[in-house]
Amino acid sequence: MDDHPSEVLSSSQVVAHPSIAWTESNTPVQAPPAPAPRSPRTLAESGISQGHLGDLLLKTLYVHGVLQAVDLARLTRLPIGIVEESLRKLKDQRLLDVRSNEPAGRITNRFGLTEIGHGRAKEAVENCRYVGPAPVSLEQYIEHCQLQRVTGTRCNPVALRAAFKDYVMRPSMLSELGPAICSGKSILLYGPPGNGKTVIAKGLGRFLSMFCGEIYVPYAILAENSIVTLFDPGIHQTTDDDDLHQRGISSTDLSNPMIHEGPVDLRWRRIKRPVVYTGSELNLDLLELKYNKLANFYNAPLHIKANGGVFLIDDLGRQAIRTSDLLNRWSVPLEEGLDYLTLCTGRKCVLPLEQLTIFATNLNPKEIADDAFLRRIKHKLPINPPSRELFTVIFHLACRQRDIAFDESIVNVLFRNYYDKGRSPRASDPRDLLEIAGSICRFREVPVVLTEELIDECARQFFEVM
């Protein structure tokens, strides 16, 4: 990733393109939040069978030992009534027994595996080692993806300006991004490195978070009788931690019989809309289900984890694999909004692709993609080097962020010695040059004071290659 200018531009400095009329009547469009998945009242409503739930409970007892029903409800994220019904059936099959039967009833009853149950649980563990929140059905996941889809997102100029108020970009960029957001289709950003392609992806993610509401992602889904884990703490930023605490998920108090009871299905987490990046490290394997041979379950690929948000493929054309192979892999998902993923059994698992997919490249798009693929990318936006005026603004703000006095003469030095002689300025240059200046001054044990000599020394180190 080479496009990370961190300079801040206040909202008053984001200038609208002349074709957009900013008026007081323009108001941000706030979409209603995605509806929360409803907590199942019965096993049938949970979308999984008694066999799958029974195996999950047996495996949970196999791993954790003797537990109360409320503990099993907490670990599987299911209402205690559904768990207790399944426990009764397992007890009737002599797979588990009650280790205590105190007057408090179901809250204090503790369940453990019988000898037969231990054998059955071991068999279930060998078949699939997944232990955790119960999965939701593939049908439920697809249905909810449609409720929190990106396609058809409402967007107006004021909302977009608010989302991008902390980013530096050329004024006309907003008027070009707006229609792309409204379509919810794929976007190609192209141009020289260091000019904000990654920043734009972050801004789009911020727009979705600000104006399209939070979404829900399940811990795992059950597809073709296989577990596919989906929730990823490294990608998905949760917003429901306080709610979970109130509902007893993190509580040690087991005396409340209403623990886990509530309107929201706890097998789902409420999150901010994700923004997922990948670059030159991307290969075809990373776009497939990752099968754990020891555990016998799958992990969803990155682009599926990005559903409801933004997925950026940066450095297009610089991957280790052939660009044509990578683009061919994306042809069907972009055309149909679905991805056909293969299980180790050879069966296909069809998952929705509901996101803003962004391709970014420093290369000429016509040299890395044919017309057939470029047709599938609905919006193609050039990201060009900043003008001298915009470069000066970026440099000024970068200095202000670092409490360094700004003198426009240093910009004159850069243009006179480098940019006017054929080198294109980059939006990230001010940040990089100031970092070098800071390092030089720390080594010399002097304050950072920008002079023409210092900035020229930094530029020679940064720009010149023998």
Q: Binning pLDDT at 50, 70 and 90, where does residue 26 land?
A: low
Measured in whole angstroms, how far is the alpha carbon of residue 441 from the centre of its chain?
39
Provide φ and ψ at 203, rounded to 5°: -65, -40
Separation of alpha carbons 365 and 154, rounded Å: 29
- Asked if the model's pLDDT at residue 307 lies above 70, the reply is yes
Contact predicate 124/159, CB 8 Å: no
- The whole-number pLDDT of residue 126 equals 93
For the ranges 18-27, 58-67, 116-125, which has the lowest average pLDDT?
A: 18-27
For the ranges 33-42, 74-83, 253-262, which has the lowest average pLDDT?
A: 253-262
Each residue's pLDDT tens digit, 138-184: 999 999 999 888 877 788 888 888 888 877 777 788 888 888 888 88
- The whole-number pLDDT of residue 41 equals 93
- Which strands make up the sheet holding 220-223, listed edge to edge? 136-137, 220-223, 226-229, 297-299, 290-292
In 3D space, the residue among 213, 203, 133, 124 whose CA is nearest the CA of residue 162 turns out to be: 203
- Rounded to 10°, the helix 80-92/69-76 angle is 120
Q: Which helix (H) or strand (E) holds 348?
A: strand 348-352
Q: Kindly state the average pLDDT of the residues 120-125.
A: 95
Q: Kindly state the average pLDDT of the residues 322-336.
A: 87
Each residue's pLDDT tens digit, 421-439: 989 999 999 999 999 999 9
Q: Are strands 215-218 and 268-271 parallel, antiparallel or unpaired?
A: antiparallel
